[in-house]
Amino acid sequence: MILRGATAPLSFRATAPLHPHDRHSRSLDPIASERIFGRMFMTSKNFAVFLSA
């Protein structure tokens, strides 16, 4: 549960598109987020997938 609370804000920021009206921003935003967060984002992403599975 602690991991969920820590990874929730990161995953939310990553999935939240900058421009809701633009579909391209949705697909490009996760890629930009990965560059910004780097390994931290990747590890949180893996935890999110593991918890959801």
The pTM of the whole model exceeds 0.75: no
Q: What's the token pair of residue 38?
A: 């780097």
Number of Cβ within a 10 Å radius of residue 21: 6
Quick check: 47 and 3 in contact, CB under 8 A?
yes
What does the pLDDT average to over 23-51? 63
The three-class DSSP label of residue 15 is helix
Residue 49 has pLDDT above 70, yes or no: yes
Quick check: 13 and 33 in contact, CB under 8 A?
yes
* Best CA proximity match to 4, nearest among 35, 42, 49: 49
Residue 46 has pLDDT above 60, yes or no: yes
The percent of residues above 70 in pLDDT, for the chain, comes to 8
* Best CA proximity match to 16, nearest among 8, 7, 26: 26
Instruction: For residue 47, name the pLDDT band (cuts at 50, 70, 90).
Output: confident
